[in-house]
Structure 1
Amino acid sequence: MDIAADCEHRMEPVLVTPSQPTPAHTLCLSNLDDQCLLRFSVEYLFVFAGHVDVDALRTALSRVLVDYYPLAGRLGPGDDGKHVVDCNAEGALFGEGFLPGLTADEFLQGSAIAKPHESWRKLLRGAEPQSFLGVPPLVVQVTRLGCGGTVLCAAISHCLCDGIGAAQFLHAWARAARFEAADHHVAPFHDRWVLRPRCPPCIAFEHQEYAMNSFPSGDERAATSSLFTGPLAPVSLTFTGAHVQRLKDRCAPWLEECTSFEALAAHVWRAWVRSLGPPSDLRVKLLFTVDIRRRVKPGLPEGYYGNGFVLACAESTAGQLAAPSGEHHAARLVRAAKEMIDDDYVRSTVDLLELRRDAMPDLSASLVISAWTRKGLEDLDIGAGRPLHVGPLTSETYCLFLPVVDDPRGVTALVSVPEAPAERLEDRCLHGLDDVENEEQ
């Protein structure tokens, strides 16, 4: 549904520069920042029922860019072939839009519970796909709705911030918009050398997240290729807190103190495989992000907003996942992959990216999960109260775990799959989970 197709742009976006002079220097990126996987902008979308003073929000952005001045700079190539940030205070791109014929409720209802649509691109001018270095590190647009509500979109270069870092910046901007004192809040830590490679680099692990899958035969390779390619359809699956608890209970006999993420990641991975129906002997992977801020020694400095994560990798045959015992089998694999991430593994990853600048994760038969939960995005208040919805601007090829407003234990999984198995995925994921709610009524 083209709910954003009528978005009006009555003026060109403007550059918002820091309100005070900022350091003029070159910021070197870490190997985790500069890896090929992250050469894009993460596009966030927030829907608010309340009105926002756009001029005040723009002024607040100017103030917060004094602290987060690299986001007002520009990415470019460095002398050693790695990308750097020219901290030149050129500014972030700030645009305005108008959707006078639409309310916040109509926006959410008309988009099938805020399922991304290509027309949403009009809600963020200036971040359109082009050369990676051609997009400013920070692009925002504030769109006013007919009901007085607001849509805020922000595209933040993944080379500069991971999800935790982006949330840290967005909350700092929100505090400035509310004129809240920042004295007791953590200042951003800019230096990326805390994740520099060792000399000489040493790759001490196999790093299956970057290894290519092996297929039993050429025929099966061709058959599998058809399963994982083609037009993608976004599937939005909302798991209530009761759903998540039921998944944890299912794993409890085989996995002590199973976490919500382990249970849900295993469940979605298994449903994804069963809906696609690959050959039973095909090895499939689950890749997911693991925060390393407290896993490295010493821990990353407080306020570090660069990329402080690595990918964990769980691997199995499709047949093992599809089997009746596949749920706890998958959960154990997720736990083992997560526990493997320690200081040695992180340093080995950094060194691998030093020696293999073009390294990319194996996505041939892989589900990639990035969790936006537990980052406080659902509490972002830019002067209009808490958002009604938090999610991505567009549907990506990876799976996002999103917070559910007003259900702190709930999770919405947004998964993009080929169109044919999309309905099967929804059935596989949600079948039987409502029984727990019926029992409680």
Structure 2
Amino acid sequence: MASSLSFTVCRREPVLVAPAKSTPHEFKPLSDIDDQEGLRFYSSGIHFYRNDPSKEGRDPATVIKEALGEVLVHYYPIAGRLREWPGRKLVVECTGEGVVFVEADADVRLEDFGHAPSPPFPCVEELLYDTESFGSILDRPLLFIQVTRLKCGGFIFGLRINHTFVDAPGVVQFLTGLGEMARGAAAPTLTPVWERELLNARSPPRITHAHPEYECLAGTDVLTTSPPADMVNRSFFFGPKEISAMRKHAPPHLRSTSSRFDLITASVWRSRTAALGYDPDDEVRVLFVVNARGRRNPPLPSGYYGNALAFPVASSAAGRLSRSPLGYALELVRKAKASVTDEYMQSVADLMVLRGRPHFAMARTYLVSDVTRAGFEAVDFGWGEGVYGGPASAGVGAVPGVASFYTWHRNKGEEGILVPMCLPGPAMERFQMEMESLTEEPAFDPYHNNTNINNIFIHY
């Protein structure tokens, strides 16, 4: 089993890779969406690649390292360092110092990770450069890359990148350009665009929307008091059969209009809340990352690689959420997602300036990030598309269980969405029971013939 896999990685000394040509020395402020507290960390990604016999004699680490210097000419701010100006304003000084690159070798084969690798990965910290010892994101490299060669001839590409600089689409844009240059292109197909001022606060700033995502809840979350040894990791696969069943648990007017994301998020949030046994009157939330690129008028320019995201939140009393049929959670999720408009994004930027760039609240909150459409799996350095490409870990944040990434996954020939979950042992068993009730065909239509829906799906 891949989960019990153990192997040794031998790293060479890290080196700095600078842009291959001279680049401008200048100061570039980040946007007021970029530099909020909740993004001031290094996000991690990982890509697994098979051996390609036609590449015999070509070292992937050498190929990628050379292409990295070339692509940094176009993305030269990434080779700089962050500074902080008054008002906690983050600014990149384009110094051209470079990014960190490490090559390594592991005594393991790609097939040892299983036929369809997915997080959590064994020994994942051995495949990523350690940034945990940094006390600050200031005056540090913005990007760390490790290329680990495998015994089978395949390799693993791991990266950590400062999240204030890029969101998931921005990372994919950069990696796609890196891959193009590794395959011999003279420049990235998509020219990078800075223009961070497009997501800055107004003058004077004014908050025009309610933003509960930045308002802390009173009290604690059971997950913050659960010993790490009691936590259990498990992943849940949602293929065509599971999605079809969840649609039939939804009210008729939402069955055809709800996306897979809507259905999965509502189901997981409802089941997780019931499993954790909150007090009925406790307010619980689901917070999700929404890509605002396609929601602006006019849209952000093609090639924009900064953070263009929002964290809308749906909330409910725990008892009502757990007792109500799926349609209740589904309506809340859809409404929160639809709230992200041009004015909403502008209001967030203004809030950052007025309130000191706060962190989004996490108590009794479940955060989900859907990266199934980001395109990580399509990144090609010349060895074809990856066996897996996406987040390096199952969740987001320092506290286990508060968040999950949604990733594409193939299970027994079916393509679907994989949702990792981390919960205390007894809660995990309850969560699985709750999810099984929503991913099995209902015995009857709970919304037909004026059935008293308030008495349905009560499991305790």
**Is the pair's TM-score, using the shorter chain for normalization, greater than 0.5?**
yes
Q: Cα distance 1:237–1:181, how it changes in 2: closer, same or farther (>3 A)? A: farther
Offset of residue 81 of structure 1 = 3.0
Residue identity in the other structure for 2:129: R
* 1:8–1:98 CA contact under 8 A, matched in 2: yes
Q: How does 1:377-416 map to 2 (within 5 A)?
A: 377-395=376-394, 396=396, 397-405=402-410, 410-416=416-422
* 1:248–1:260 CA contact under 8 A, matched in 2: no
Q: What is the aligned partner in structure 1 of residue 72 from structure 2?
A: 65
1:317 aligns with 2:321: no
Residue number among 194, 208, 212 corresponding to 2:216 in the alignment:
212
Between the aligned partners of 1:83 and 1:286, the Cα distance in structure 2 is 28
Offset of residue 225 of structure 1 = 3.4
Residue identity in the other structure for 1:416: C
* 2:20–2:72 CA contact under 8 A, matched in 1: yes
Residue number among 135, 138, 141 corresponding to 1:136 in the alignment:
141
Q: What is the aligned partner in structure 1 of residue 353 from structure 2?
A: 354
**Structure 1 length-normalised TM:** 0.89
Between the aligned partners of 1:432 and 1:338, the Cα distance in structure 2 is 22
Offset of residue 409 of structure 1 = 5.4
Offset of residue 152 of structure 1 = 0.9
Offset of residue 297 of structure 1 = 3.1
Offset of residue 419 of structure 1 = 4.5
Q: How does 1:3-152 map to 2 (within 5 A)?
A: 3=5, 5-9=7-11, 11-50=12-51, 53-100=60-107, 102-108=108-114, 113-116=117-120, 119-133=123-137, 135-152=140-157
CA deviation vs aligned residue, 1:380-413 (integer Å, no higher than 9, x gap): 2222222222343234342111122587951111
Q: What is the aligned partner in structure 1 of residue 451 from structure 2?
A: none
* 1:49–1:384 CA contact under 8 A, matched in 2: yes
**Structure 2 length-normalised TM:** 0.85
Give the CA RMSD over aligned residues: 2.4
Offset of residue 252 of structure 1 = 5.4
CA deviation vs aligned residue, 1:296-343 (integer Å, no higher than 9, x gap): 332211111100011111111112221251x11111111100111111
* 2:378–2:389 CA contact under 8 A, matched in 1: no
Q: What is the aligned partner in structure 2 of residue 217 from structure 1?
A: none
Between the aligned partners of 2:118 and 2:174, the Cα distance in structure 1 is 24
Q: How does 1:180-259 map to 2 (within 5 A)?
A: 180=185, 182=187, 185-214=189-218, 221=219, 225-230=221-226, 231=228, 232-251=231-250, 253-255=252-254, 256-259=256-259
Offset of residue 4 of structure 1 = 5.4
Q: What is the DSSP-based 3-state SS (H/G/I as helix, E as strand, rest coil) of the residue aligned with 2:278?
A: coil
Q: Cα distance 1:252–1:40, how it changes in 2: closer, same or farther (>3 A)? A: same
Q: What is the aligned partner in structure 2 of residue 218 from structure 1?
A: none
* 1:315–1:333 CA contact under 8 A, matched in 2: yes
Q: What is the DSSP-based 3-state SS (H/G/I as helix, E as strand, rest coil) of the residue aligned with 2:173?
A: helix
* 2:129–2:159 CA contact under 8 A, matched in 1: no
Q: Which runs of 5+ in 2 are unaligned?
A: 53-58, 397-401, 443-460
Between the aligned partners of 1:48 and 1:252, the Cα distance in structure 2 is 43
Q: Cα distance 1:130–1:416, how it changes in 2: closer, same or farther (>3 A)? A: farther
Q: Cα distance 1:282–1:435, how it changes in 2: closer, same or farther (>3 A)? A: same
Q: What is the aligned partner in structure 1 of residue 447 from structure 2?
A: none
Offset of residue 258 of structure 1 = 0.8
* 1:402–1:414 CA contact under 8 A, matched in 2: no
Offset of residue 430 of structure 1 = 4.3
Q: Cα distance 1:145–1:213, how it changes in 2: closer, same or farther (>3 A)? A: same
* 1:235–1:426 CA contact under 8 A, matched in 2: no
Q: Which runs of 5+ in 1 are unaligned?
A: 215-220, 437-441
* 2:34–2:165 CA contact under 8 A, matched in 1: yes
CA deviation vs aligned residue, 1:207-227 (integer Å, no higher than 9, x gap): 11112225xxxxxx4xx5335
Q: What is the aligned partner in structure 2 of residue 371 from structure 1?
A: 370
Percent identical across equivalent pairs?
32
Residue identity in the other structure for 2:113: F
Offset of residue 247 of structure 1 = 2.2
* 1:45–1:153 CA contact under 8 A, matched in 2: yes
Offset of residue 127 of structure 1 = 2.6
* 1:245–1:260 CA contact under 8 A, matched in 2: no
